């Protein structure tokens, strides 16, 4: 199956999340966010398997998590901007259970279909 690189495929969304690792402005669509997250999880499992095979005690997972921290915060911020919410809503994660559920619902919500205070409608 051929992918149209102008529209982006899952790996492009993943790599783009790392290219924009410190971009906290603008918007990210649901598709862009969830494709990034899917490939993040696949990578996490890959590094877990490598850690298990090499018996490194989680070294590769820890390094991957550390390298991915800022890109994850940035892409969630841009995703929240798509629903016209501030990136500070990520702090809900510090409220046990309820905060994670509310943030998860926010991440599932459809973005605004028109320009909002955070920018134009993202492609994808």
Percent of the chain predicted with pLDDT > 90: 83
User: What residues have CB less than 8 Å from 8, skipping those under 6 apart?
Assistant: 16, 32, 35, 123, 124
- Measured CA to CA, the distance from residue 58 to residue 61 in angstroms comes to 5
Where do the domains of the chain lie? 10-108
In the predicted structure, residue 101 carries a pLDDT above the cut 90: yes
A 10 A CB-CB count for 17 gives 24
pLDDT digits (tens, 9 = 90+) for 12-30: 888 898 999 899 999 999 9
Would the pTM count as exceeding 0.75?
Answer: yes
Over its C-alpha atoms, the chain yields an Rg (Å, rounded) of 16
User: What is the rounded average pLDDT of the residues 70-91?
Assistant: 96
């Amino acid at each position: 199956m051929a992918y149209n690189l102008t529209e982006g495929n899952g790996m492009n969304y993943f790599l783009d999340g790392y290219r924009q690792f410190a971009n906290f402005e603008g918007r990210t669509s649901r598709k862009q966010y969830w494709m990034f997250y899917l490939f993040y999880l696949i990578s996490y499992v890959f590094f877990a398997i490598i850690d298990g095979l090499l018996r490194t005690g989680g070294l590769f997972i820890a390094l991957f998590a550390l390298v991915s921290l800022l890109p994850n915060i940035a892409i969630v911020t841009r995703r929240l901007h798509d629903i016209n919410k501030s990136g500070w809503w990520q702090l809900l994660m510090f409220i046990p259970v309820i905060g994670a559920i509310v943030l998860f619902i926010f991440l599932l919500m459809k973005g605004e279909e028109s320009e909002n205070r955070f920018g134009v409608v993202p492609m994808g």
